Structure 1
Amino acid sequence: MVLSGTSYTGLFRHTLDDKNRVTIPSAWRSAHGEGEQFLATPHPDGYIAILPPAEVAKLRTKIEAIALSDGSGQDFAARFFSQTQTIGFDKQGRIMVNGDLLTHAGISKDAVLVGSLTKFSLYSPDRWSRVEQRTAGENFGDLMRRIGI
């Protein structure tokens, strides 16, 4: 069976270089052409969600549907996108993440890259450890049942 679309799976531990760049696994970037744009967003749970072009397109559709007269919706869009960063891979397969996003995620030098099939995320090692603890053992099975897997 061949998976449809790009799949972001696995877990990778990398260190940021002095310019706040982190190498993205080749399996994750191989399906993307040079110049493709991703969106790095601060997630309320304290990590950085990286949305690939397909996910950005879904988000764009939702944002376009917010009426100009919807003040709360427009406020949300302005606030959300004021915190995001458009990124792409360099020739070495790295992305450069701005300091505000890294601070939000608590990442200073080491990052954990975590695939979630349609997107991937950057965590600090401490935050990722907490996710692993919350989803361990019986909790993992309960979560699978709750989302219907």
Structure 2
Amino acid sequence: MFLGEYQHNIDAKGRLIIPARLREGLGDKFIITKGLDSCLFAYPMEEWSALEQKMRSLPFTRADARAFVRFFFAGATECEIDKQGRILVPANLREYAGLEKEVVVIGVSNRVELWSRERWEKYNEESASSVEEIAEKIVDFDLGI
């Protein structure tokens, strides 16, 4: 399980340190892809395989399902952590997520998310007022909250 929020800088070559606590769960190789909310998602290989199986069950006859699968898989790439605990974030993914200098790395249950600091702060600001409303809506899922 991934949790926590960490601040790091991405260098001019696109290398980003992955916090040690998150590296353990991601493993030496993992998948990074375009995520929702203009951030990047990183999945350990087992989680990615499970997600891939679920995506395969989507009806390919539906245009929205095809579009989502294309979005998710076309942006995906395998990453390896180097000896300094860094990954190279491809230019197309950096551009999509707006990763230029300051990056927020967060653990979110089964995945890690990479956010530009600016977008993360804006997201938190915008969602802070609606968290209680969201909690009320998802109470039907019996999460024990």
Shift of 1:134: 2.0
Residue 13 of structure 1 aligns with which residue?
Answer: 7
- Which structure 2 residue ranges, 5 or more long, are not aligned? 140-144
**SS of the residue 2:131 aligns to:** helix
In the TM superposition, residue 80 of structure 1 has moved relative to its aligned partner by 3.3
State whether residues 30 and 42 of structure 2, in contact with CA within 8 Å, keep that contact through their aligned partners in structure 1: yes
Tell me which residue corresponds to 1:27.
Answer: 21
Deviation at 1:70, TM superposition (A): 4.0
The within-5 A match list for 1:66-105 is: 70=61, 72=63, 76-105=68-97
Aligned length: 139
- Where does the alignment leave 5 or more consecutive residues of structure 1 unmatched? 1-6
Give, in angstroms, the shift of residue 82 of structure 1: 2.0
In the alignment, is residue 39 of structure 1 matched against residue 59 of structure 2? no
How much has 1:24 moved relative to structure 2?
Answer: 0.9
Contact 2:27 2:44 in 1 (8 A): no
Higher helix share: 2
- Write the letter of the residue equivalent to 2:84: Q
Q: Distance in 2 between matches of 1:108 and 1:74?
A: 30
* Cα distance change, pair 144–18 in 1 and its aligned pair in 2 (3 A): same
Q: CA deviation at 1:60?
A: 1.7
- How many angstroms does 1:10 deviate by? 0.8
1:140 aligned to 2:134? no
Root-mean-square deviation (CA, aligned residues, Å) is 2.3
Q: Which residue of 1 aligns with 2:51?
A: 59
Alpha-carbon offset, residue 32 of structure 1: 5.0
Between the aligned residues of both structures, percent identity stands at 28
**Cα offset, 1:52, TM superposition:** 1.8
The answer on 1:121 being equivalent to 2:97 is no
TM-score by length of 1: 0.79
